[in-house]
Amino acid sequence: MNQHQLALPVMETFYTVQGEGAFAGAPAYFIRLAGCDVGCVWCDVKESWDASKHPSVAIDQLAADVINAGAKICVVTGGEPLMHNLDALTQALRNGGVRTHIETSGTSPLSGEWDWITFSPKKFKAPLSEFYQASHELKVIINHKSDIEWAAEHAAQMPDQTMRYMQPEWEKREAMQTLILDFIRKNTQWRISVQTHKYLGVD
């Protein structure tokens, strides 16, 4: 993508609370960018995959909306947000005093300046090696018992200080929560991530 990209395809924006991971419960403004080439079978926003179906929004407008909302954290998600160059977006947000967070599968090169990177690798497309050192948080969706061992393999490639989360896939949460809890009792560097926003009934 052009380094001077001035607009991005946006599926939706909303000001809510972060529901997952290290910042769960914190108020955050979400920008959900359109476009994804990972193809998770259990994705709950498949309508985000085709970027051509969503409007392009000027980066200056996106940043102004976040700042005007009074948000102190902006989470850029998708889709797969790093299919787009995010240098200009993060610069505009930081100029407005907003913390920049991203949630990514790590399958496209890192762009932008981030205060927090949540790396959520998927089996459907291999991540790039740069994310193992660059990320602050590893979050793996547990959809099958084999995903627990797969998550541990990724964690072994990351620094000790990287926060480690296993998150049950929502439709299988009761069975997966039991497996995760059994694992983290024995592997205490891990935590369980629960989608608190879904329990709260908010976006």
- For 179, the domain range is 7-200
pTM for this predicted structure: 0.91
Cα atoms found within 13 Å of the Cα of residue 123, Cβ hemisphere only: 14
Residue whose tokens read 């949540």? 118
Query: How many whole angstroms separate alpha carbon 22 and alpha carbon 29?
Result: 16
Q: Is residue 174 part of a domain?
A: yes
| pLDDT value of residue 119 | 98
- Cα angle, residue 58 at apex, residues 56 and 60 outer, rounded to 5°: 160
Overall domain count for the chain: 1
Of the candidates 99, 66, 70, 102, the residue with the CA atom closest to the CA atom of residue 86: 102
pLDDT single digits (tens) 31-88: 999 999 888 787 878 888 999 999 999 999 999 999 999 999 999 999 999 999 999 9
Cis status of the peptide bond prior to 79, with omega within 30 of 0: yes
| pLDDT value of residue 87 | 97
Q: Is residue 48 part of a domain?
A: yes
| pLDDT value of residue 195 | 73
Q: Is residue 60 part of a domain?
A: yes
List the chain residues with pLDDT less than 70. Answer: 1-4, 196-203
State the CATH number of the domain containing residue 98. Answer: 3.20.20.70
Q: Is residue 1 part of a domain?
A: no
| pLDDT value of residue 62 | 98
For residue 125, the SS3 value is strand
